Amino acid sequence: MKFDETLNNDLKIIAAGIDSFAEDLTEQGVDVINVDWQPPASGNPELISLLQKLQNK
């Protein structure tokens, strides 16, 4: 949704990373999905770079 339209709509949020940020949003009554985020390719830099190249193809 365009940003200026977002300013006139209820926020619907997808959160990835620090859990307490998503918890604070839930406490504020916001509709939020907290992604169970894990580093891609177990954090292996070579594999990540390879994956990115494949995705950008």
Partner 1 sequence: MLYTNIIRNTYYDSLTLMRLSSNLSSLKGVKQAAVMMGTKLNKEFLKDANLISDEVLQASPSDVCICIEVEDNSFVKSVSETIDDFFNNMHSQKDVIRRPRSISKAMDNMPDANLAVISVPGIYAAEEAKKALRAGLNVFLFSDNVSLDDELMLKQEAEKNDLICMGPDCGTGIINGVALGFANKVHRGNIGIVGASGTGIQEITVLIHGLGEGISHAIGTGGRDLKKPVNAISALTALKSLKDDEKTKVIVFVSKPPDKEIEEKVLMELSKCGKPVIVLFLGSNPPNELPQNIHWAKNMEDVAKCAVALLKDEEIPPYSIEDGINKIEKSRIKDEIEKLDKNQTFLRGLYSGGTLCDEAIFILAEMFSEIWSGHNVGSGVKELENPFASVGHSLIDMGEDIFTRGKPHPMIDYGTRISRMLDEAEDEEVAVILLDVVIGYGSHPNPKEILIPTIKKIRESGKQSNRYVSIVASVCGTDIDPQNLEEQTKALEQEGVLVFSSNAKAAYAAGLIANKAL
List residues near partner 1 by CB under 8 A: 1-22, 24-25, 28, 30-31, 33-40, 42-45, 48, 52
Q: Which is nearer to partner 1, 1 or 57 (CB)?
A: 1
Separation of alpha carbons 28 and 37, rounded Å:
22
Phi and psi for 6 in degrees, rounded to 5?
A: -60, -35
| Least Cβ distance, residue 57 to partner 1 (angstroms) | 15
Helix (H, G, I), strand (E, B) or coil at 51: helix
- Work out how close the CB of 19 gets to partner 1 at its nearest, in angstroms, rounded to a whole number: 6
User: For 55, which DSSP code?
Assistant: H
